[in-house]
Amino acid sequence: MEPAAAEGGRYTYEQYKQTADWLLARTEHRPSLAIICGSGLGGLADLVKDPVTFNYTEIPNFPQSTVVGHAGKLVFGTLAAVPCVVMKGRFHMYEGYPLWKVTFPVRVFHLLGAKTLIVTNAAGGLNPDYEVGDVMLIRDHINMPGLAGINPLMGPNDERFGPRFPAISDAYDEQLRALALAVGRELGYGDTLHEGVYCTLGGPNYESIAECRFLQRLGVDAVGMSTVPEVIVARHCGLRVFGFSLVTNKAVLEYGGREKANHAEVLEASQQAARKLEHLVSVLVEHMKAAGLA
C-alpha cells in the first residue's frame, strides 16, 4: 500500500509506527535480527523456520519492489533459533524511489525491536583477486551519491530515530566481521572469502570502463547499486550492521573486449553461488547467538 502524503514529502514517525504496529499485530514473532536480501539471494528467506509471510503490496506504507530477482515479500520467523525478519527483495534509487523511501523498512525494523541488520547484495568485482562466486565482507563503503549530496538522512532530523550528525566510520561491526571470517575458515571457504570496500552507484546502467578504473584507483573492491543507504539509516537508528557482497560478475576494465555485464548473468551467478552465502549466514547467526550477539 502506498503511503498517504507525508510531511515535507517524507514519511512521518507516525507512519513508520503505523507499519510496525500493523506487522506486530499480525505475527507473534518479535525479531532481534533483520536481513535484507539482494538480487538472487532471496533463498535466505527460505531457511526461516515457522515463517509468517507478507507481500509488500499488503503492508501499509511499504514501497513495491519492481526488479527481477526481488520477490517483494517480508518473512518473519527464526533462523538458527534467532527471531528474525527477512526482506526478500529491496528497493533502489534507480527504480525512481527517493532514498527516504528506499530505506523505509530499516526504521520499521528498528521499531519492531531489531538490534542487528545483515545486508547482502550482488556486486561487480573490481579487485583483481576476486572471482565470480566469491564473497566479500564489507569492511567500509564509498557512498558516491552521498558525495553528490544524495543521502537518506537529508531533510529534517527526527531525534526519536537518531542524531543529526551520525558517525559512519564504524558502520560495519568489527566483532561480527571477525566472527564471519572465523566461520568462513571453519567452513573451508578459504581464498573465496574476502574483506573489502564496497561502493554504491545510482544505476541502473552498469559502470563504464573509465568509471571502473576510477573506482579501482579509489580503493574500491566491489561495486553495486544498493546497500549503503540502508546501512546509513540503520547506523542512524543505532543498529549493529554487518554486510556481504556476492561477486556475480567481474568489472570490465579493458577496452576492445566483448565482455559486458548484464542482469540475467548476475542472477544466474547469484543462484549458483547463493547456497554458499546462505550457509555462511545461517552458521554465522548460530555463532552470533552463542556469543550473545543476536
- Tell me if 167 is assigned to some domain: yes
pLDDT digits (tens, 9 = 90+) for 244-262: 999 988 888 989 877 777 7
| Residue positions annotated with a catalytic role | 39, 70, 92, 94-95, 122, 225-226, 249, 263
What is the domain extent for residue 230? 7-290
- Tell me if 116 is assigned to some domain: yes
- Tell me if 1 is assigned to some domain: no
| Cα 84–Cα 86–Cα 89 angle in degrees, nearest 5 | 175
Residue 36 near residue 120 (C-beta atoms within 8 A): yes
- For the purposes of burial, counting CB atoms within 10 Å of the CB of 66, is it exposed (0-12), middle (13-18) or buried (19 or more)? middle
- Tell me if 136 is assigned to some domain: yes
- Tell me if 192 is assigned to some domain: yes
pTM of the model: 0.93
- Tell me if 2 is assigned to some domain: no
pLDDT digits (tens), the chain, 294 positions: 444 445 557 999 999 999 999 999 999 999 999 999 987 778 888 899 999 999 999 999 999 877 665 579 999 999 999 999 999 989 999 999 999 999 999 999 999 999 999 999 989 999 999 999 899 999 999 999 999 999 999 999 999 999 999 999 999 999 999 999 999 999 999 889 999 999 999 999 999 999 999 999 999 999 999 999 999 999 999 999 999 999 988 888 989 877 777 767 766 766 777 888 888 999 999 999 998 888
Domain count for the chain, please give it: 1
Return the number of other C-beta atoms located less than 10 Å from residue 71's C-beta: 16
CATH number at residue 255: 3.40.50.1580
- Tell me if 215 is assigned to some domain: yes
Task: Taking each helix axis as running N to C, give the angle between helix 174-186 and helix 263-290, from 0 to 180 degrees, rounded to the nearest 10.
Answer: 100
- Given this model, what pLDDT does residue 266 score? 66
- Tell me if 24 is assigned to some domain: yes
Residue 169 near residue 195 (C-beta atoms within 8 A): no
